[in-house]
């Protein structure tokens, strides 16, 4: 498109943004208007995308990191012929694909859900990594950011990662409209302030008037021809550009324009221009991923193996069987054992250093491109990325997250390193799966199984070695459990997972010698739980005692409730969990101090028997 056409298209996107927001009675037209020219030039002259084939492997990827400017995005889709005007006006209505913030669950052109700021660029880095290191189809990744969101640390994790990897297939476009939600940003229209930061991190920077379509056009061209480093286009814009009553004014964030018709007239009225987005350079052949039978590692019962070790070996084996499996780690791969994968498959391993938000974001980006990512760090440090995990579920992203060093059983390192809230955090994520194996063979099977699930999957591993309980051919369906001790005289059921399975078994043996039979259930699938087995245990033993190396809220103890929250009779319930703030101590001392070791379990059960709480 030439200058005049681009100007016209920008105005059309403004008009349609105003119209969509007016029809909805809410939305962010002024944030759309500032970036309208930036998007017009990108979509018309630079983006390469087959609108009929969102799955085309050569498509460029566009991420609207400032997701609240969704009216602009949908207006651009309309101009590109992908959606009708009628649908545009369903914006923000019940059942519409055009949500307040874009999500790929509903609209195939959307790469990732946005709306929590500072996520678009890190996820874009993940997609650019896929393009650069794995796919080689020549696509570019364009991320449109707001200026306010540059305050998020995750943006600088992404800036660091992208520059270090030399991602010249990545372009960030920053809509520097000076105004955040509440008022002015720290740096206003000082483009240099942002340029200095990006340059220091190793980016090529271009400063431009974001309403000068020719200058923007040249900037994108320069970004495309820049090699060896990512480019950021810093565009000076005006919020509400084009409508004098709202232009560059505070207090109008997230509000439809007060006089929509007048604004539309001021913008030159309705237009109905469409254009054809440039086709991808490359063929549309889907990529071929080599695969073969996965030969999981096998351990003999009785061997002492840490589940984190089993994770590393199983992941390496899975990587050999499946060419679509990739691994990422937050600079602790020697602890999580992701290093076993890294050694065997270095081309599919992504070191993310100590930047857990970027770690999870890169996994989300890789998953968006169809890869099967396993991202690992200490369970405790996944809390750093909770917003990204939450948003991954909004995207419907299929990511595997693996948290090691869970619980007090890590020992001397103390509470800062102990994942004690991770089960609660992960269970609360929509559509998530939460797995917590207790032995090596179980871990290996679950590592392989999780690759085939929907949504966010979480695997919790332990630091210390534990005896292998199960044979290598045992199966562990997700949503299942294992009954490890069972008899007709069971007076209650111990429900455990991970390290506490071993403690529960030892307690059961102690209690049996005292004439108290108890059932032991290994609830390795914390979400979904095995309702059938729990209900049978409830009926047959009348009392469930949950034992977990986790806070008492939101973990195993709460998870069993899922089997009884439909109004049916509920068994008696007792929770053993970590109720204090641990200090340093040995693993055994920690488990004892928390009241979740074998001796504590046996004592608790004995008390229940003595007090006739159980039959």
Q: 520 to 539, contacts with a copy of itself by CB under 8 A?
A: 527
- What would the x/- binding string for a copy of itself be over residues 296 to 325, using CB under 8 A? ------------------------------
Q: 398 to 437, contacts with a copy of itself by CB under 8 A?
A: 411-417, 420-421, 424-425, 427-431
Q: Out of 103, 462, 533, 600, name the contact with a copy of itself by CB under 8 A.
A: 103
Q: Which two tokens stand for residue 570?
A: 């509920």
Radius of gyration of the chain from Cα atoms? 27
Task: Give the Cβ contact number of residue 89 at 10 Å.
Answer: 17
Q: Out of 1, 51, 89, 151, name the contact with a copy of itself by CB under 8 A.
A: 151
Is residue 386 at the binding interface for a copy of itself, with CB under 8 A as the rule? yes
Is residue 260 at the binding interface for a copy of itself, with CB under 8 A as the rule? no
Cα pseudo-dihedral 140, 146, 149, 151, rounded to 10: 100
Is residue 177 at the binding interface for a copy of itself, with CB under 8 A as the rule? no
Cβ contacts of 78 within 8 Å, gap of 6 or more:
16, 84, 85, 87, 88, 274
Is residue 226 at the binding interface for a copy of itself, with CB under 8 A as the rule? no
Is residue 606 at the binding interface for a copy of itself, with CB under 8 A as the rule? no
User: Is 160 a residue of the active site?
Assistant: no
Q: Which is nearer to a copy of itself, 103 or 169 (CB)?
A: 103
The beta strand positions in 410-555, using DSSP E, are 433-435, 457-460, 465-467, 482-485, 493-496, 519-522, 525-527, 543-551
Task: Give the Cβ contact number of residue 553 at 10 Å.
Answer: 12
H/E segment holding residue 464: none
Q: Out of 117, 129, 459, 496, name the contact with a copy of itself by CB under 8 A.
A: 117
Q: Which of 99, 111, 149, 356 is catalytic?
A: 356
Q: Which is nearer to a copy of itself, 355 or 402 (CB)?
A: 355
Is residue 357 within 8 A of residue 385, CB to CB? The reply is yes
Q: Which is nearer to a copy of itself, 365 or 554 (CB)?
A: 554
Is residue 561 at the binding interface for a copy of itself, with CB under 8 A as the rule? yes
Is residue 12 at the binding interface for a copy of itself, with CB under 8 A as the rule? no
Q: Which is nearer to a copy of itself, 117 or 484 (CB)?
A: 117
The backbone region for 29, taken as left when phi is positive above 0, alpha when psi lies in -120 to 50, beta otherwise, is alpha
Phi, psi (deg, nearest 5) at residue 326: -125, 160
The C-alpha atoms of residue 419 and residue 104 are separated, in whole angstroms, by 31
Is residue 469 at the binding interface for a copy of itself, with CB under 8 A as the rule? no
Q: Diameter of the chain by CA atoms?
A: 89
Q: 29 to 58, contacts with a copy of itself by CB under 8 A?
A: none
Closest CA to 600 of 524, 510, 515, 497: 510
Q: Which is nearer to a copy of itself, 179 or 267 (CB)?
A: 179
- What would the x/- binding string for a copy of itself be over residues 482 to 521, using CB under 8 A? ----------------------------------------
Q: 324 to 383, contacts with a copy of itself by CB under 8 A?
A: 329, 331-335, 339, 351, 353-358, 380-381, 383
- Catalytic residue ranges: 356
């Amino acid at each position: 498109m030439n200058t005049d056409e681009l100007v016209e298209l920008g105005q059309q996107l403004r008009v349609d943004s105003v119209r969509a927001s007016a029809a909805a009675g809410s939305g962010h037209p002024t944030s759309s208007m500032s970036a309208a020219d930036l998007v017009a030039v990108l979509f018309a002259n630079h983006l390469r995308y087959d609108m009929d084939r969102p799955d085309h492997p050569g498509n460029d990827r566009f991420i609207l990191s400032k997701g609240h400017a969704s009216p602009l995005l949908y207006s651009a889709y309309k101009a590109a012929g992908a959606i009708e005007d009628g649908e545009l006006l369903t914006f923000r209505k019940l059942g519409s694909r055009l949500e307040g913030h874009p999500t790929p669950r509903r609209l195939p052109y959307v790469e990732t859900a946005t709306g929590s700021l500072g996520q678009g660029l890190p996820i874009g880095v993940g997609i650019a990594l896929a393009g650069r290191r794995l796919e080689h189809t020549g696509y570019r990744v364009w991320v449109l950011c707001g200026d306010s969101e540059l305050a998020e640390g995750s943006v600088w994790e992404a800036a660091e990662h992208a520059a270090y990897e030399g991602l010249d297939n990545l372009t960030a476009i920053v809509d520097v409209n000076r105004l955040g939600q509440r008022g002015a940003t720290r740096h206003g229209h000082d483009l240099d302030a942002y340029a200095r930061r990006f340059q220091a991190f190793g980016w090529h920077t271009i400063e431009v008037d974001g309403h000068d379509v020719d200058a923007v056009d040249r900037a994108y061209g320069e970004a495309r021809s820049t090699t060896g480093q990512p480019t950021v286009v810093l565009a000076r814009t005006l919020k509400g550009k084009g409508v004098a009553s709202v232009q560059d004014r505070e207090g109008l964030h997230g509000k439809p324009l007060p006089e929509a018709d007048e604004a539309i007239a001021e913008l030159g009225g309705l237009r109905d221009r469409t254009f054809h987005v440039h086709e991808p350079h490359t063929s549309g052949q889907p990529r071929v991923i080599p695969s073969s039978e996965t030969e999981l590692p096998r351990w003999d019962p009785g061997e002492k193996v840490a589940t984190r070790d089993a994770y590393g070996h199983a992941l390496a084996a899975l990587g050999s069987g499946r060419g679509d499996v990739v691994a990422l780690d937050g600079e602790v791969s020697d602890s999580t054992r992701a290093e076993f994968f890294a050694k065997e498959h270095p081309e599919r391993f992504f070191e993310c250093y100590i930047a857990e938000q970027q770690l999870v974001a890169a996994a989300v980006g890789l998953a968006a491109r169809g890869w099967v990512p396993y991202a690992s760090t200490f369970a405790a440090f996944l809390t750093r990325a909770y917003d990204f995990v939450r948003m991954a579920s909004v995207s419907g992203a299929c990511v595997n997250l693996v948290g090691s060093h869970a619980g007090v059983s890590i020992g001397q390192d103390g509470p800062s390193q102990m994942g004690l809230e991770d089960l609660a955090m992960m269970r609360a994520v929509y559509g998530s799966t939460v797995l917590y194996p207790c032995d090596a063979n179980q871990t290996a099977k679950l590592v392989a199984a999780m690759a085939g699930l929907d949504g966010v999957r979480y695997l919790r591993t332990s630091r210390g070695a534990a005896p292998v309980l199960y044979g290598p051919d045992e199966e562990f369906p997700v949503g299942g459990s294992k009954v490890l001790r069972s008899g007709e005289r069971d007076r209650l059921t111990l429900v455990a997972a991970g390290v506490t399975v071993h403690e529960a078994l030892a307690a059961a043996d102690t209690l049996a010698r005292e004439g108290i039979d108890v059932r032991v259930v290994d609830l390795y699938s914390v979400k979904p739980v095995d309702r059938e087995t729990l209900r049978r245990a409830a009926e047959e033993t009348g009392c469930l005692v949950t034992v977990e190396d986790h806070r008492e809220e939101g973990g195993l103890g709460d998870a069993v409730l899922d089997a009884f929250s439909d109004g049916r009779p509920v068994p008696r319930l007792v929770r053993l969990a970590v109720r204090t703030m641990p200090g340093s101590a040995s693993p055994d001392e920690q488990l004892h101090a928390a009241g979740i070791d074998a001796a504590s379990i046996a004592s608790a059960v004995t008390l229940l028997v003595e007090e006739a709480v159980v039959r």
